[in-house]
């Protein structure tokens, strides 16, 4: 069993988004200080890094329930992109969160229809 | 900021559920063979272990969006409990998945109402 | 195959240490500011949370190579405990890091002898 | 603070190695059965996936202690590559484990000298 091209692309985006959020938080935000270290913003970056990494792993297992994690992941990516935009000087993070969020949303469209 | 007793209890259940699923898969299932190693069952156990662990971490960050991960986690716990029941001889896993699933569902009831 | 009492105890300490470091970083440190947010200290807390969680998971797989991860984990626990002591007002974190580090060190004594 | 090119390359290899081990275990091994599901082999693949993923995350934090995790990671990559070679029909996994192990070993050469 191979992952479909669509799932593989979402795995890749989740992996990249997790690494970017984590690395930016640990390096850029911690050193920039100010709004970059506001608890709400920083927590969101860490939570987004966590769920994106986990979303990629769940997709790699191949279980059909991955759509539920993608659905959650899309919410975090949107919230994190918005927060990064407000803080400013975080365009890499904004960009990957938007792309990853859109991919996760597409992945989970069946959940949204069923709700 | 301290976690509420309700969130802390869900963190504890997610942590215990993840460890039980992972350890049972790695030890009980791999050694028992047969239905215990059917791909659908085994993948679900690994995916449940992954999302439960991640759900606990996201709750520990304190972001309000944790409800979306709990919502996804509840789906995995239910599916994993059902699969463990069908395979049989996995009562510890069934029990913790049911408890964790109920806790996650309660945690995410706001998501379900909003849908 | 059941985990030995000694390994199970180390799994429990690693799990508790990871949760404490992560939660303290996300809540106590981010809100306290000052030395609590010095990049070196905060990164160490996140790295300690990460490796402790992973160390627990590797022990749960039952592979004998877990001693190498425990060896690494002991280094992080010591460094994190020292850093928390210097920052101050982080006694919970100091205590669990010390306990977890000692348990991991015992677990990995075979690696240290072989080196 | 940017990661050095050498660390970034090790992060990328650890990430790729983790995804390959996890996906091959979940899909190739579970479906192939036989030696692919021998407990020792399968556990090693899961443990290697876990520690490689964690090693990448620890490097992304930027703490100098990452060398201890890389040291542990190199052991798992070697053991996993050997096990995959013996089982056979797992060349992708062998290749990425060898590359990742060499990168982690280089990263941790300071630990080995100090021992």
Q: Give the separation between CA B107 and CA B100, rounded to whole angstroms.
A: 10
Q: What is the DSSP secondary structure assignment for residue D38, as one 8-state letter?
A: -
> Which two three-digit tokens encode residue D87?
């089982």
- Residues of chain A in contact with residue D56, where contact means CB-CB under 8 angstroms, are 19
D31 to A1: CB separation less than 8 angstroms, yes or no: yes
Average pLDDT for B26-50: 98
- Per-residue pLDDT at B115 exceeds 80: no
Nearest CA in chain D to C48: D58
> For all residues of chain B together, what is the average pLDDT?
95
Lowest-pLDDT choice from B46-50, C67-71, C110-114: C110-114
Contact B59, B15 (CB under 8 A): no
Contact D94, D85 (CB under 8 A): yes
Closest to B42 (Cα-Cα) out of B14, B83, B13: B83
- Per-residue pLDDT at D82 exceeds 90: yes
Check residue A89 and give left, alpha or beta (phi > 0: left; psi -120 to 50: alpha): left
How many Cβ atoms are within 10 Å of A7's Cβ, its own excluded? 17
CA dihedral C55, C59, C61, C66 (to 10 degrees): 80
Q: Give the separation between CA B81 and CA C12, rounded to whole angstroms.
A: 24
Q: Give the separation between CA C52 and CA D18, rounded to whole angstroms.
A: 18
Instruction: Decide if D81 touches C, using CB distance below 8 A.
Output: no
Instruction: Decide if B40 touches D, using CB distance below 8 A.
Output: no
**pTM for this predicted structure:** 0.97
Q: In chain D, pLDDT over 70 holds for what percent of residues?
A: 96
Instruction: Decide if B60 touches C, using CB distance below 8 A.
Output: yes
Within 8 A by CB and 6+ apart from B13, the residues are B96, B99, B100, B103, B104
Q: In chain C, pLDDT over 70 holds for what percent of residues?
A: 96
Q: How far is C2 from chain B (nearest CA, A)?
A: 8
pLDDT recorded at residue A71: 97
pLDDT recorded at residue D40: 98
pLDDT bin (cut points 50, 70, 90) of residue C110 is: confident
Average pLDDT for D3-27: 97
Residue A89, Cα to own-chain centre: how many angstroms? 18
pLDDT recorded at residue A115: 53
Nearest CA in chain C to B28: C1
Q: Which of D30, D33, D46 sits opposite B43 (nearest CB)?
A: D30
Instruction: Decide if D72 touches C, using CB distance below 8 A.
Output: yes
Q: Give the separation between CA C101 and CA D112, rounded to whole angstroms.
A: 20
Lowest-pLDDT choice from B43-47, C36-40, D107-111: D107-111
- Per-residue pLDDT at B113 exceeds 70: no
B30 to D46: CB separation less than 8 angstroms, yes or no: no
Q: How far is B31 from chain D (nearest CA, A)?
A: 7
- Per-residue pLDDT at C84 exceeds 70: yes
Instruction: Decide if B68 touches D, using CB distance below 8 A.
Output: no
> Which two three-digit tokens encode residue A51?
């769920």
Q: Give the separation between CA C30 and CA C11, rounded to whole angstroms.
A: 27
Side-chain-side CA neighbours of C52 within 13 Å: the count stands at: 35
Please identify every stretch of chain A with a pLDDT value under 50, giving residue numbers as ranges. none
Contact B52, B77 (CB under 8 A): yes
Q: What is the pLDDT of residues D40-72, one digit of tens each?
A: 999 999 999 999 999 999 999 999 999 999 999
> Which two three-digit tokens encode residue D109?
């050469």
> Which two three-digit tokens encode residue C60?
């749960």
pLDDT bin (cut points 50, 70, 90) of residue B114 is: low
pLDDT recorded at residue C1: 62
B27 to C56: CB separation less than 8 angstroms, yes or no: no
Helix (H) or strand (E) holding A89: none
Closest to A39 (Cα-Cα) out of C24, C87, C26: C26
Q: How far is C25 from chain D (nearest CA, A)?
A: 14
């Amino acid at each position: 069993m191979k992952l479909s091209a669509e799932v593989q692309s979402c795995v890749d985006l989740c992996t990249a988004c997790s690494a970017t959020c984590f690395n930016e938080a640990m390096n850029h935000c911690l050193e920039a200080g100010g709004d970059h270290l506001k608890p709400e913003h920083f927590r969101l970056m860490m939570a987004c890094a966590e769920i994106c990494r986990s979303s990629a792993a769940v997709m790699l297992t191949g279980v059909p329930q991955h759509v539920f994690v993608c659905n959650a992941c899309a919410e975090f990516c949107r919230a994190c992109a918005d927060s990064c935009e407000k803080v400013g000087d975080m365009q890499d993070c904004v960009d990957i969160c938007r792309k990853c969020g859109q991919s996760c949303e597409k992945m989970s469209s069946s959940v949204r229809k069923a709700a």
